[in-house]
């Protein structure tokens, strides 16, 4: 691993570790990190939900940094990353839309209807990015991979924008 890659992996690992530490520290009732989520600091359920999302993201960054450091093949790493990210979007969207877990959203105080739309947008975003995984696995051209990535990202962004209206 060259110096530039080593620095990037170390930075990614440090960011992931910081996310996990902040998530863990915010679980304490007297923690000042509780206010950073944009929810009422006294609302334990909302803080726990946001801490769980932050902790999972941090753990994912740590796992990605470890996989790069261990020199896992780009094909396996790219495919697994896209599958996990798409699955996480669909799972988060399902929780928000069908289980009314609006506390998982980063926007506090969202009404039920907007929450349901945002949940659907999150699920759609995951589904729009999912075709990228097989394209990476089979070694599709850079143009195809870029087109799928940009198309899925633009579609997800548009879905979230429409959900917020």
pTM for this prediction: 0.76
For the cut 90, the answer to whether the pLDDT of residue 2 exceeds it is: no
The span from the CA of 133 to the CA of 137, in Å, is: 6
The span from the CA of 65 to the CA of 61, in Å, is: 6
12 to each of 6, 60, 104, how far by Cα in Å? 10, 10, 24
The DSSP code sequence of 104-118 is: GSSSTT--HHHHHHH
What is the rounded average pLDDT of the residues 133-162?
A: 95
pLDDT digits (tens, 9 = 90+) for 69-108: 999 998 999 999 999 999 999 999 999 999 988 878 877 6
């Amino acid at each position: 691993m060259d110096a530039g890659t080593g620095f990037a992996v170390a930075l990614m690992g440090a960011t992931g570790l910081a996310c996990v530490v902040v998530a863990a520290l915010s679980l304490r009732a007297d923690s000042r990190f509780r206010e950073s989520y944009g929810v009422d600091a006294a609302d334990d359920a909302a803080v726990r939900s946001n801490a769980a999302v932050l902790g999972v993201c941090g753990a994912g960054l740590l796992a990605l940094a470890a996989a790069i450091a261990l020199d896992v093949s780009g094909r396996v790493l790219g495919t697994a990353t896209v599958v996990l990210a798409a699955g996480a979007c669909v799972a988060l969207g399902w929780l928000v839309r069908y289980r009314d877990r609006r506390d998982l959203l980063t926007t506090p105080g969202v009404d039920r209807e907007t929450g349901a739309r945002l949940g659907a947008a999150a699920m759609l975003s995951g589904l729009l990015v999912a075709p990228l995984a097989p394209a990476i696995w089979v070694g599709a051209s850079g143009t195809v991979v870029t087109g799928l990535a940009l198309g899925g990202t633009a579609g997800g962004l548009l879905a979230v924008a429409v959900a917020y209206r």
